[in-house]
Structure 1
Amino acid sequence: MKLIGSTASPFVRKVRVVMAEKKLDYDLELENVWTAETKIHLSNPLGKVPCLIMEDGSPMYDSRVIVEYLDTLTPVCKLLPPNGRDRSDVKVWEALADGVLDAAVLVRLEKTLRPEAQQSAAWIERQMGKVHAGLAVMSANLGESPFCKGNHYTLADVALGCALGWIAFRFPEIDWRGAYPNLAKLFDKLSERPSFKDTVPF
């Protein structure tokens, strides 16, 4: 398999972490979708990464679709419950973490791709409101549990760790560690895993 992506993308990191946890072999093809030379559209018409090229050459895109597929390939480190409410709970965690990232990415794009005079303060405030609201709910839902879903490491933790890692990388001014020490505690624990150590964004 080949994974097309960027080392800075939190969504690509989520796939890479899952690949590592599942002990799956793949080649990483670096792609900057924001350059004029990008060829991502040849694999993903939406122009986004990650994009997984499977053994038969067909592409799979959207990190949530990719990681769900990867979890079926081997019983090593099962990250998703087989069905029912437990599975839905993990997927809701993933949706929350990804939603926080979606909002934060929009703020970064607004600030980096638009001239300052054209930036919308109201738009930035609206998106940052989603980021802060999402962090608050993450903290409340985690409580004192060792992992997002009880006592077991799941895809929810992968998604949470990638979201927090990217916010720390791109928005160091957000003091989520001080505001939510339980998130910081879990993030520090996740950061000790080889899968997270080997995929730190840069």
Structure 2
Amino acid sequence: MILIGMYDSPFVRRVGIALRLYGIAYDHRAWSAFDDVMKIMAYNPLVRVPTLVLDDGEALIDSAAILDALDEMAGPEHAMMPHNGPPRRAALKTCALASGIADKAVSLAYERHVHERMDPTWIERCAGQITRVMNQLEIARAAQTTPFWHGDTIGHGDVMVSCAVTFMRDALARDMDLSPWQALKRHTDMCEDLPAFREAYMTFKMG
């Protein structure tokens, strides 16, 4: 398998971490969607990352779809997403909220570091969305008594939350104060101390 994309993207990173947690071997091509357009285009016409190229040459796109395929490969006994029912819906909601704030955080980072403009109205809107979701996730995590978000074993929600918070720490330190969300900080610190997280990490480099 080949994972295309740089680990400073929270979405590439969540796939790289899942691959490592599943013990699935892969080659990593740290290609940039800005600097390596033609290379990525050969596998993904959208020129977006992550892209995962399977051993048979099939290219999977979109991190959620890639993780769904990896869960299928791992099988229901080992999948990092519950198979059905309320546990699955709860885990999917955590993933959706965390991926949503990661998307907004990436947009804010691009606004500052790539587009070199800061529209106050748009910045306020994105920051408000992030804050509301972080508040909800903070309450949810603080209420959990299990080591991980939805139980005793790590799941995709744990990974996505940690990737989102770590990206904000790296890329938005000047724009957002993350200190109010201490339960999320503890959760992220715990996850980031795991080998799979340390091995699939790259400091945000724009700016």
Query: TM-score, normalising length from structure 1?
Result: 0.91
Per the alignment, residue 175 of structure 1 pairs with 177
Q: Is the 8 A contact 1:148 1:157 kept in 2?
A: yes
Given residue 102 of structure 1, which amino acid in structure 2 is its aligned partner?
D
Moved over 6 A (4+): none
Instruction: Assess, with a 3 A threshold, how the Cα gap between structure 1 residues 184 and 115 changes in structure 2: closer, same or farther.
Output: closer
Contact 1:33 1:40 (8 Å CA) reproduced: yes
Equivalences, count: 199
Match of 1:129 in 2: 128
Q: Show CA shifts across 1:39-73 (max 9, x none).
A: 32221222210000011111101001111211222
Q: Which runs of 5+ in 2 are unaligned?
A: none
What residue is the counterpart of 1:44 in the other structure?
44
Q: Matches of 2:190 and 2:132 in 1, distance apart?
A: 23
> In structure 2, how many angstroms separate the alpha carbons of the residues matched to 1:121 and 1:39?
36
Distance across 2 between alignment mates of 1:152 and 1:20: 15
More displaced, 37-46 or 12-21?
37-46
Does residue 202 of structure 2 align to residue 201 of structure 1?
yes
Residues of 2 paired with 1:5 and 1:50: CA distance?
Answer: 5
1:20/1:77 Cα in 2 relative to 1: closer, same or farther (>3 Å)?
A: farther
The alpha carbon displacement at 1:77 in A equals: 4.5
Amino acid aligned to 2:157: A
Question: Hey, what's the Cα distance between the residues in 2 that align with 1:114 and 1:191?
Answer: 30
Question: Is it true that 1:17 corresponds to 2:17 in the alignment?
Answer: yes
Kept after mapping to 2: 8 A contact 1:169/1:201: no
Across the aligned residues of Structure 1 and Structure 2, the Cα RMSD in angstroms comes to 1.7
Counterpart AA for 2:177: D
The one-letter amino acid paired with 2:161 is: L
After superposition, the Cα gap between the structure-2 partners of 1:69 and 1:104, relative to the gap in structure 1 and judged at 3 Å, is same
Where in structure 1 are there 5+ consecutive unaligned residues?
Answer: none
Task: Tell me: CA distance 1:61–1:133, structure 2 relative to 1, closer, same or farther (3 Å).
Answer: same
Q: How far 1:35 sits from its partner (Å)?
A: 2.3
**Between 33-42 and 125-134, the greater mean CA deviation after superposition:** 33-42
Is contact 1:10-1:201 (8 Å) kept?
A: no
CA distance in 1, matches of 2:153, 2:202: 25
Which deviates more, 189-198 or 96-105?
189-198
Cα distance in 2, alignment partners of residues 81 and 121 from structure 1: 40
**Superposition pairs of residues 141-180 of structure 1, within 5 angstroms:** 141-145=140-144, 146-173=147-174, 174-176=176-178, 178-180=179-181
**Change over 3 Å in CA distance of 1:115–1:79 after alignment to 2:** closer
Q: Which amino acid in structure 2 is aligned with residue 175 of structure 1?
A: D
Contact 1:144/1:182 (8 A) holds in 2: no
- Percent of residue pairs identical: 28
Match for 2:141: what amino acid?
L
Measured in 2, the distance between the counterparts of 1:32 and 1:186 equals: 29
Q: CA deviation at 1:157?
A: 0.4
2:192 corresponds in structure 1 to 191
CA distance in 2, matches of 1:45, 1:103: 23
TM-score, length basis structure 2 = 0.89
Alignment of 1:97-112 (within 5 A): 97-112=98-113
One-letter code aligned to 1:61 = I
